[in-house]
């Protein structure tokens, strides 16, 4: 395929502005998928994506498009919009020369529109602004085009106005991709050089890598090597994604596709690695900046006997989501486990859900915390500021963009939900790391019947210690079911108890309603109770539901 006729692009946008819907239309119009109701959001393959209606993984699709009598190969990489998954966006972008920047013509520029724009801008990609949802009654594409001109310095005439839902002007999008985005720079006569920009683990075939070819070509039977692991592999299969895998004889420079080469170990296919022919070593591509974990939590198997199967599940899932960091850890109450780092709370929930759905694993996650650097000294005295305004820009007369410096701990849990409800859904939010700041923090222990539970301990600001302790005890009281004996729930700093709640003794006698002798019914009820207990975790002699560790953090 002539490299001049290849276009590699990705779609970026704020959450819900219509990326996946536009991707569906592009796939339909180029004949990659049939036009049916069933084919909605085809690139959202994961169960968690379908359930939550959000994209968490970037996906790739190759489309063939006829323009001016020539066939073009358009490689589309769909990306997630939520702030927690921006790592996926930056990885996708590295395989592209251009992006479609989708903006909802009703909502206008939002926080992730700005964040994603800069990712593409800094990578020096061609940016095509696309105003979506012009079919909506309240759509105001004129206003949004002016916002784009003002904030991004892109002439408003460059905006394409579409309705991804109805298909209006989507043909223009295809045309403009061909006209405005440059083809990749790659020559077929160079040595083979490819960037691994994604990889998944397949139970039967081992590691499947998604690669972008920066030069040369690769086909079945070739002996290749990876710069990182330094091992030699024979290529078993190459092909393109349409979006289903379609084997081809060869992949050429400039193309995007998949490659299977008998890599059995997750570690062998690092995302960001460079592949080359064994006989023609090349300089490794720069790869990716490692993702920076913002939230940490402990994870343990519900049953210790599941430790090793859980470990391989975590290995495989982190291959597919390399932004998660993993360290071994162990806990007095919960046994052997790991300490995982995530980009945000939604990221952590999605990871947990994928483990359960894709690997059938049952885990306990502990209270998430943000990283701190502790300095032990008698004078830890500098008062930390909790939210300092940095600057403010009026996007137009209806919208303002404000920058604040916040302690990460204040924004990580439910700041976003709170902001949404305060602004009736109008405000949007994005964040980046601003480094460590000194603050007056204390460790708050949670005690169940006098015994501290390390997994529930947290670091809080001294000024908030009393109110957080009280709220936490109240929430734990709601989470922990009554048991045969009374349970005291206390929050303490050192030896000083800040708050206390009591859970009264009680036992649910599941057999109470079973008079007389129906033994099978009795067995059934006891079995059901036992299943309920599986979801519990024994701490000392107290049973704590496994989701208590996270749910205590959320505001009611």
6, 12, 13, 212: residue in contact with ligand GTP (rule CB under 6 A): 13
Q: Is 140 annotated as belonging to a binding site?
A: no
- Comparing CB distances to ligand GTP, the nearer of 346 and 458 is 346
Residue nearest to ligand GTP as judged by C-beta position: 81
Q: 544, exposed or middle or buried, with CB in 10 Å at 0-12, 13-18, 19+?
A: buried
* Residue 107 beta carbon to ligand GTP: minimum distance, rounded to whole angstroms: 10
Piece in contact with ligand GTP (CB under 6 A), picked from 60-68, 122-130, 131-139, 389-397:
131-139
- Comparing CB distances to ligand GTP, the nearer of 107 and 209 is 107
H or E segment and range at residue 126? strand 126-132
- Applying the rule CB under 6 A, the residues between 35 and 54 that interact with ligand GTP are 54
* Residue 15 beta carbon to ligand GTP: minimum distance, rounded to whole angstroms: 4
State CA 90 to chain mean position distance. 12
Q: What crossing angle do the helices spanning 141-152 and 111-122 adopt, rounded to 10°?
A: 50
Piece in contact with ligand GTP (CB under 6 A), picked from 8-16, 251-259, 331-339, 373-381:
8-16
d(CA 161, CA 460): 48
d(CA 479, CA 38): 39
Range list of β-strands (E), 169-301 = 193-202, 206-215, 217-219, 223-226, 232-234, 237-241, 245-248, 250-252, 256-260, 274-277, 295-301
d(CA 257, CA 539): 49
- Comparing CB distances to ligand GTP, the nearer of 81 and 301 is 81
Residue 163 interacts with ligand GTP (CB under 6 A): yes or no: yes
Question: x/- contact string, 235-264, with ligand GTP (CB under 6 A)?
Answer: ------------------------------
Cα four-point dihedral sign 78, 82, 88, 91: positive
Phi, psi (deg, nearest 5) at residue 68: 50, 40
Residue 19 interacts with ligand GTP (CB under 6 A): yes or no: yes
* Residue 365 beta carbon to ligand GTP: minimum distance, rounded to whole angstroms: 23
Cα four-point dihedral sign 31, 35, 41, 46: negative
Piece in contact with ligand GTP (CB under 6 A), picked from 19-27, 179-187, 217-225, 396-404:
19-27
Residue 18 interacts with ligand GTP (CB under 6 A): yes or no: yes
d(CA 352, CA 368): 13
- Comparing CB distances to ligand GTP, the nearer of 16 and 190 is 16
- Cis? peptide before 243, omega within 30° of 0: yes
Q: Are 117 and 50 in contact (CB under 8 A)?
A: no
* Residue 292 beta carbon to ligand GTP: minimum distance, rounded to whole angstroms: 21
8, 10, 21, 209: residue in contact with ligand GTP (rule CB under 6 A): 21
Residue 55 interacts with ligand GTP (CB under 6 A): yes or no: yes
Token representation of residue 188: 């077929």
Piece in contact with ligand GTP (CB under 6 A), picked from 130-138, 212-220, 354-362, 484-492:
130-138
- Please report, for residues 11, 53, 295, 464, the alpha-carbon distance to residue 349 in angstroms, rounded to integers and kept in the order given: 24, 14, 11, 26
* Residue 80 beta carbon to ligand GTP: minimum distance, rounded to whole angstroms: 5
136, 493, 510, 514: residue in contact with ligand GTP (rule CB under 6 A): 136
Q: Is 445 annotated as belonging to a binding site?
A: no
Q: 197, exposed or middle or buried, with CB in 10 Å at 0-12, 13-18, 19+?
A: buried
- Comparing CB distances to ligand GTP, the nearer of 8 and 20 is 20
- Comparing CB distances to ligand GTP, the nearer of 163 and 409 is 163
H or E segment and range at residue 203? none
H or E segment and range at residue 315? helix 307-320
Tokens 């099978």 belong to 520
Q: Is 80 annotated as belonging to a binding site?
A: yes
> Binding-site residue total for ligand GTP (CB under 6 A)?
19
164, 212, 395, 444: residue in contact with ligand GTP (rule CB under 6 A): 164
Piece in contact with ligand GTP (CB under 6 A), picked from 63-71, 159-167, 297-305, 341-349:
159-167
Question: x/- contact string, 76-95, with ligand GTP (CB under 6 A)?
Answer: ----xx--------------
- Please report, for residues 110, 186, 309, 392, 410, the alpha-carbon distance to residue 404 in angstroms, rounded to integers and kept in the order given: 16, 43, 43, 9, 12
Q: Which residues sit at the interface with ligand GTP, rule CB under 6 A?
A: 13, 15-21, 54-55, 80-81, 132-133, 135-136, 163-165
């Amino acid at each position: 395929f002539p490299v001049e006729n290849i276009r590699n692009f990705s779609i970026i946008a704020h959450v819900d502005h219509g990326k996946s819907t536009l991707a569906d239309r592009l796939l339909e119009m180029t004949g990659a998928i049939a036009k049916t109701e069933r084919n909605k959001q085809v690139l959202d393959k994961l169960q968690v994506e379908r359930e939550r209606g959000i994209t968490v993984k970037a996906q790739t699709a190759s489309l063939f498009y006829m323009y001016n009598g020539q066939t073009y190969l358009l490689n589309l990489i769909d990306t997630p919009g939520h702030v927690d998954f921006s790592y996926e966006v930056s990885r996708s972008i590295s395989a592209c020369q251009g992006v479609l920047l989708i903006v909802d013509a009703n909502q206008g520029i939002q926080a992730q529109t700005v964040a994603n724009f800069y990712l593409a801008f800094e990578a020096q990609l061609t940016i095509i602004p696309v105003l979506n949802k012009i079919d909506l009654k309240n759509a105001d594409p004129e206003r949004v085009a002016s916002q784009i001109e003002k904030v991004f310095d892109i002439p408003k005439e460059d905006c394409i106005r579409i309705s991804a839902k109805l298909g209006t002007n989507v043909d223009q999008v295809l045309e403009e991709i061909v006209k405005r985005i440059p083809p990749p720079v790659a020559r077929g006569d160079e040595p083979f050089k490819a960037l691994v920009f994604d990889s998944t683990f397949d139970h039967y075939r081992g590691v499947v890598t998604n690669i972008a070819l920066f030069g040369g070509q690769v086909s079945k039977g070739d002996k290749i090597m990876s710069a990182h692991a330094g091992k030699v592999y024979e290529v078993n299969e190459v092909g393109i994604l349409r979006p289903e895998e379609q084997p081809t004889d060869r992949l050429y420079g400039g193309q995007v596709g998949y490659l299977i080469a008998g890599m059995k170990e997750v570690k062998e296919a690092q995302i960001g690695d460079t592949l080359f022919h064994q006989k023609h070593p090349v300089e490794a591509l720069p790869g990716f900046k490692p993702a920076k974990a913002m939230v940490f939590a402990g994870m343990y198997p519900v049953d210790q006997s599941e430790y090793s199967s859980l470990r391989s599940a975590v290995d495989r899932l982190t291959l597919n989501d390399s932004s998660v960091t993993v360290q071994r850890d162990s806990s007095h109450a919960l046994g052997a486990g790991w300490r995982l780092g995530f980009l945000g709370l939604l990221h952590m929930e999605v990871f947990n859900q994928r483990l359960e759905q894709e690997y059938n694993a049952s885990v306990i996650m502990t209270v998430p915390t943000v990283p701190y650097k502790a300095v032990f000294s008698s004078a830890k005295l500098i008062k930390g500021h909790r939210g300092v305004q940095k600057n403010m820009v009026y996007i137009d007369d209806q919208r303002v963009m404000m920058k604040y410096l916040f302690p990460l701990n204040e924004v990580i849990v439910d700041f976003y939900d709170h902001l949404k409800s305060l602004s009736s859904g109008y405000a949007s939010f994005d964040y980046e790391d601003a480094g460590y700041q000194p603050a007056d923090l204390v460790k708050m222990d949670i005690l169940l019947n006098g015994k501290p539970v390390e997994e529930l301990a947290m670091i809080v600001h001294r000024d908030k210690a009393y109110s957080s302790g009280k709220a936490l005890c109240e929430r734990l009281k709601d989470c922990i079911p009554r048991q045969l004996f009374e349970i005291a729930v206390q929050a303490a700093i050192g030896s000083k108890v800040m708050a206390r709640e009591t859970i009264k003794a009680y036992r649910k006698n599941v057999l109470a309603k079973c008079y007389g002798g129906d033994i099978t019914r009795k067995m059934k009820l006891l079995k059901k109770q036992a299943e309920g207990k599986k979801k519990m975790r024994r701490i000392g002699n107290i049973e704590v539901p496994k989701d208590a560790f996270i749910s205590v953090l959320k505001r009611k």
